[in-house]
Amino acid sequence: MKTPIKLSSLAVLIALSSMSTSAFASPRWSDAEQVFNTYERNDALVPVAGYLSNWGVYERGFNINDIKGKYDKLVYSFMGICGSKVGDPAITSAVTSVASICARNNYPDYTIVFTDPNSDYQADYGGGNGHWNSELQGPASFETGQKYAGGLIGVLRDMKKEDPNLELAFSVGGWSLSEPFSRMASSPQSRKVFIDSAIQWFTLYPMFDQIDIDWEYPGGGGASGNSWSEQDGENYTLLIKELRAALVAAGIPEKKIAIAAGAPASKLDASNIKALIDNGLDYVHLMTYDFMGEWQDKLAHHTNLSGEAFKNDESFNSAEKSIDYMIDVLGIPSTSIQIGYANYSRNAGAVDLQSVSPLIGSFTPGTSTNKSYDTGVSELYDYADKLVTFNQMGGQGLEGYEIYTDIDANADFLFNKVTNQFLSIDTPRSVYAKAAYAKKRNLGGIFNWMVDHDPGYHINAAREGLGYRVVNTTLDMTNIVKACGFIDKNETTLSEEACKALTGITDDSVNPGPNLAPVANAGKDKEVEGEVTVHLSGSASYDPEGKALSYAWIQINGSEVSLTGANLATPSFVAPEVEEDTSYTFSLTVTDPEGLENTDTIVVKNQASEDGNTGGGGSCSQTDPEADNVPAWVSGQVYTTETVNHNGLVYTAKWWNKDEPTPATQSWTLTSEVELPWTAAGIYNGGDEVDHNGSRWQAKWWTQGNEPNASSDVWLNIGEAHCQ
């Protein structure tokens, strides 16, 4: 979001620099009623995340303890980069603070630093433990790490201690701190400083599971003073690739890499987004908001889900348009994408509203509008129960405002036809619709900007749209999430059934079906010649509902060997040199969070050296002789868990899909026991083996499109090809 980062020393000055035009000036978090429901934990469902600021504890009085247990992941924002110059001349406080911290500590350019030591790790804001004792421990500093930290870091540390399942991320950059990214990414030396610093963060603050890089934006289009280059996308790829390698080398490969990315296709292309995924990026926090603002005069939604009327207009944006582009055009795995919703509005004044569905109109930039703190922006806790109310009866406008619903864009807004004031907002209904969409598209998550603004309306709606069961109700969301507004200027309303259809509400939305057992896949039988390290892989195992799996390998036959990593997807053992052929059988059991399990086995044949047979040089069929014994795949037909044959191979559906089965299609598992050569389109998990150019290669980690060769850091050459 284009919201300035505000630091303690300058916060009051910033707030006073622009007098509020709202009747509700200087709103406080405590002014709003807390309506958080409690929902049952369910790791099988799409998770909910939110960005947490380090400045909301000041004027707004945000108390982080109010959101304890409400989110699956919190992204702490923002960290800065030493050497930052001013990107946005209107927002300089963060850059000034970073420069002071870096100079005081003699940090080199491109080092990642806290931006506000007071709220970050020194103070007692928001219930932070604040137990730093400067007399005994000296001045608080970054290098001291998380153990003695107070401030928000202390609170987050303790929250994670209470709930180890809570994921924490630290976000670097943001709108006002993105100036140095292009310069940093442009050379190996500067990238190394940044990467070494990131590793130090994970070392000193192991509470963090993920780094979030918020570069706004590669290739330009961010703040006017930002550095940028035509090579930003290529350099970004190198940054991610080198960061991933550094995490592996540091012994912390489980740490995740995420980025915040602009939603328009042009920004995704400039970021080289597909290459980032291919080189180690785990998640994209897709900023499906800020589509409209004071920088334009054409009326638009700022966080709409869809839109057919203007989809061919390159300037028109929607979440669905961007996600379709990422999945269907770029081939990005859906589970790598997280869709965003907004806990704030984008406002316009002197509005000429010509049409509601689709939204058509204009406004006069710079005209007086509602605001909470930042010009043209109102925050949810501020306008709820002032301009609009959400209660058990549904939703209703206040103070002359009415709720309108653009059924083409699946988006809501507030409009006062007397004052011609307009607020583009997410509502609980539209957040529910986004959550239902995330579930339907098998996305990796839904997140918000930002948790500091939502007293419970939107996080409740997100949980309900994803199918979480409520266990303690503060606010019944049943009618709220189906509260569509007027769909035209004549104040026509939708029927309840039409509103539910638009929102994605079905009879089983909050009553998921019975839990399905996972599917174990221990991989194809192997032939080796000892002495050699043999890598097993259960990475092709999956859960039909996308749940996380636990792995348990045991040896059930053959002379005993020592299995390393028996509780991992990819264990290994050393097959000794033998005088006669010997076989080892291993059993893999995968278990879902509810305790359902499934088992598969693999046989490893260790051939005697005198046989002269390494398993290479043979010819292997690339079709399955049993394929004709199962039904043929039918184009356009819906599959859920069925087994089909297509192009001479047998596949089993993982989940609901209409996709054509291929070895690279994520919604299908190849069940044929065949040897297929490497292909650029293929997806390979850590431990997978494949033939290419006469050699046998083993993937070190997930990869797609990276050709196996001697210079590849993804592939390990393990001998001759099995097939020719």
412 within some domain: no
Tell me the CA distances in angstroms from 211 to 259, 520, 681, one per residue in order: 8, 31, 28
Claim to verify: residue 436 and residue 520 sit in the same structural domain: no
- Check residue 512 and give its pLDDT: 52
Look at residue 11 and tell me whether its pLDDT is greater than 70.
no
Domain count, the chain: 2
- Check residue 125 and give its pLDDT: 53
Closest among 640, 543, 555 to 595, alpha carbons compared: 543
Look at residue 218 and tell me whether its pLDDT is greater than 50.
yes
3-class state of residue 23 by DSSP:
coil
- Check residue 96 and give its pLDDT: 95
- Check residue 9 and give its pLDDT: 32
Claim to verify: residue 290 and residue 435 sit in the same structural domain: yes
CB atoms within 10 A of CB 99: 17
CATH number at residue 235: 3.20.20.80
Look at residue 214 and tell me whether its pLDDT is greater than 60.
yes
Claim to verify: residue 323 and residue 463 sit in the same structural domain: yes
DSSP 528: E
Q: Cβ distance 83 to 182 under 8 Å?
A: no
Strand 38-39 to 695-699 pairing: unpaired
pLDDT bracket for residue 724 (50, 70, 90)? low
CATH number at residue 560: 2.60.40.10
Per cent of the chain over pLDDT 90 is 64
484 within some domain: no
Claim to verify: residue 544 and residue 448 sit in the same structural domain: no
For CA atoms 101, 153, 468, 445, the dihedral sign is positive
- Write the pLDDT tens digit of every residue in 62-79: 999 999 999 999 999 999
How confident is the model over 203-218, as a mean pLDDT? 98
Claim to verify: residue 325 and residue 249 sit in the same structural domain: yes
679 within some domain: no
Claim to verify: residue 461 and residue 552 sit in the same structural domain: no
511 versus 576: the higher-pLDDT residue is 576
- Tell me how far apart the 2 most distant CA atoms of the chain are, in Å: 93
Claim to verify: residue 570 and residue 452 sit in the same structural domain: no
- Say which residue the tokens 């598992």 belong to: 669
- Write the pLDDT tens digit of every residue in 615-628: 444 447 788 888 88
154 versus 457: the higher-pLDDT residue is 457
Backbone angles phi, psi at 233, to 5 degrees: -60, -45
Claim to verify: residue 239 and residue 331 sit in the same structural domain: yes
Tell me the CA distances in angstroms from 529 to 99, 145, 522, 619, 698, one per residue in order: 59, 49, 20, 18, 16
Helix and strand totals (H; E) in the chain: 15, 33
Which residues touch 345 (CB under 8 Å, ≥6 apart)? 302, 370, 377, 378, 379, 383, 414, 423, 424, 425
690 versus 81: the higher-pLDDT residue is 81
Look at residue 562 and tell me whether its pLDDT is greater than 50.
yes
Q: Cβ distance 691 to 721 under 8 Å?
A: yes
Of 588, 614, 640, which closes a domain? 614
392 within some domain: no
d(CA 155, CA 119): 11
Measured torsion, CA atoms of residues 131, 135, 137, 140, in degrees rounded to the nearest 10: 70
d(CA 210, CA 74): 10
- Check residue 69 and give its pLDDT: 96
Which residues does residue 610 pair with via DSSP β-bridges, in sequence order? none
DSSP 222-258: S-TT----TTHHHHHHHHHHHHHHHHHHTT-TTSEEE
Look at residue 83 and tell me whether its pLDDT is greater than 70.
yes
Closest among 506, 356, 505, 503 to 427, alpha carbons compared: 503
397 within some domain: no
Claim to verify: residue 606 and residue 535 sit in the same structural domain: yes
- Write the pLDDT tens digit of every residue in 161-174: 999 999 999 999 99
Distance of CA 103 to the CA centre of its chain: 34
Closest among 285, 320, 279, 324 to 303, alpha carbons compared: 320
588 within some domain: yes
- Check residue 514 and give its pLDDT: 64
Written as one letter, the residue type at 221 is: G
Closest among 303, 287, 296 to 424, alpha carbons compared: 303
Claim to verify: residue 456 and residue 555 sit in the same structural domain: no
How confident is the model over 422-447, as a mean pLDDT? 97
- Check residue 302 and give its pLDDT: 97
- Check residue 5 and give its pLDDT: 37
329 within some domain: yes
3-class state of residue 178 by DSSP:
coil
Claim to verify: residue 158 and residue 278 sit in the same structural domain: yes
- Check residue 14 and give its pLDDT: 30
pLDDT bracket for residue 133 (50, 70, 90)? very low
Which one of the listed residues 179, 216, 242, 320 is annotated catalytic? 216
216 carries an active-site annotation: yes
Q: Containing domain of residue 585, as a range?
A: 514-614
Q: For 69, how many CA atoms within 13 A lie in the half-sphere containing its CB? A: 10
- Check residue 713 and give its pLDDT: 78
What is the average pLDDT value for the chain, to the nearest integer?
88
d(CA 520, CA 504): 32
d(CA 537, CA 524): 9
Residue 448: both structure tokens together: 């918000």
Claim to verify: residue 167 and residue 282 sit in the same structural domain: yes
d(CA 266, CA 306): 18
17 within some domain: no
Look at residue 248 and tell me whether its pLDDT is greater than 50.
yes
433 versus 682: the higher-pLDDT residue is 433
